[in-house]
Structure formats: structure tokens, C-alpha cells
Amino acid sequence: MRRIRIWDPDAVYHISNRTQEAKYLFVPDDEFNEIAHKWLKRSVRIYGIELYAAVVMGNHFHLLVRAPHLNISKFMQYFQTNLARAVNKLRKRYDAAVFPRRFAAEPVLDQPSFDRLLAYVLCNPVAANLVENPEDYPGLTTFPQSIGERDDGFELAVPPHWRDVDEEKLAEQYIELVSHTVKECAERRRRGVAGAEKVKTKKWWRRPKRPKRGRRAFCHGATKLARKRYTTHANQVQTRYRTCMLAWRRGEAPVFPYGTIPPGWTECVCKARRARMPADLRIAA
């Protein structure tokens, strides 16, 4: 039995997924950009998702979100299903999978981890040696809207610790945040970047020679203690869920833990007593 999803309406999640065989199905040409923008914008609006940052690379995407309505699963089902259908139509692929496995969703436990992941998501094209600055990336990225360069129509949420600053100061905060990552990437870089035009001409049926297969994090915390405490919390919920599962199989009607999806359901239960994530292990909403 694989680990269950545990959703918390106050938690921020780093969500990612990769294409089948890591193929460049998401090459950022004009047609694909329109498709990705359309379905992400629509999905965020329909499900009331708070979107902090997003970037769609050639063969994967990253989102930093919060779901006040406990509906990340439905949000991702809608987004990935429609994106995959549109991509297959665009690339003239038939009966072919786009996402071979379920999306990863890791909770962000504290502000330092949130800032690190925010910079990571926005600077993903820079770290991949595609462009020198995040605003130069020709694909879908929320960074230009974050700093006020253009309005892409996304309902971007302001990070909790920046909600009291004005728009000009907010843009400065984003620029300062990513500048450190951009500088680090430039120092590590041994060759020049590909450039926006070359990125747009990449063949969608190709894939990296050595696709990265990094281990997915279970959660993101600045300290080992924070990560350990969250793991303990998640294990306790997992144990309660399995106990309820055994009772359900016996024909009983157990109350599954809050923030989980019972068998046969498509959404979280809200009737259970709320066993929230420890207050010091989530970013204040």
C-alpha cells in the first residue's frame, strides 16, 4: 500500500510531475504556451487554488500552491487531464500517456523552505542552463508577473510574509530572492546558456541523454527536527487511515482522518475531527 495523501488547508505544497520518458512534450513554442496558460489559469480559478509560483519546463512542471478547500487532487486531475489531452492533440500523438506516474506533492513546513522553493521554481530555467535570467525564459513562468513586467492573467497569491508590502516593494523582494540563485547558477556554469530561441526549437520527441532521477522529498523543512516531526505526524495519520480501511472492509462505517481521501471517494473528508499539522510546521495563511 503506497503512502496516502494528507492535505492541510493551511499548508503550502510543492507540486511537480514529469512527462512520459522525459520527452520534451512541453517545448515552449507559441501553441504550447497558449495551451499551458489556458489550462493552468482555468484550473486555478475553478478550484480556488492559491498559486504562488509556476514554471513549465520542456519535460516537467513545478507549482507552489495552497488549497484552502482541500481539493488539490481534483485540481491536479483537472489540470493534468486537460493539459495531456491538448498536448497529445498538438503533437499528433494517439493513445499515448503524457504523465506516467502521479504527481509529487510535498508540504512546505517553514518560511526559509518556502523562500528556497520559490527561488527554485522561478529559477528552474536558469539552473537548467536554458537562459541567464528567469524573465528570459520563453515558456510559461509566473516570474514576469511577479515583478510587474507583464500581466499574464494569473491570480497569483502573495507570499504570507510579504502581504503587507506594496507592489513596488514586492517586486524588489522577488528580484532580491532570485538574484542569489541566479548568481550561484552563473558561478557553477561551465558553458554558455542555450538561449530562448534555441529552447523554442527543441524537438518534442527527443529526451535528455541522461534524464535526472532524483529522489522525491517527503517534505521540505529547514531543520532536521522539523522534517522528523512532520514525518511522525504523517505516520500517525497513515496508521489511523489503515485502521479505518480494515474497518471499512469489514462493512463498518469508520471516520477517516481529516485531510485524507477514503476509498471510493474523490475528495477529502471534512466530518472527521481535525487533527491539523502542528502549528509550527506550516506557514501562516
pLDDT in tens, 22-59: 999 999 999 999 999 999 999 999 999 999 999 999 99
Contact indicator for 103, 63 with CB cutoff of 8 Å: no
pLDDT in tens, 222-254: 999 999 999 999 999 999 999 999 999 999 989
Say what the pLDDT of residue 148 is.
92
Determine the topology of domain 12-200 in CATH: Alpha-Beta Plaits (3.30.70)
Say what the pLDDT of residue 284 is.
47
Q: Where are the domains of the chain?
A: 12-200, 225-281
Residue that has been written with the C-alpha cell 474523490 in this structure: 266
Q: Distance from first CA to last CA of the chain, Å, rounded?
A: 32
Say what the pLDDT of residue 285 is.
45
Residue that has been written with the C-alpha cell 487532487 in this structure: 73
pTM to 2 decimal places: 0.93
The low-confidence residues of the chain, meaning pLDDT below 50, are 284-285
| Residue 166: strand, helix, or coil | coil
Whole-angstrom Cα distance, residue 76 to residue 86? 15
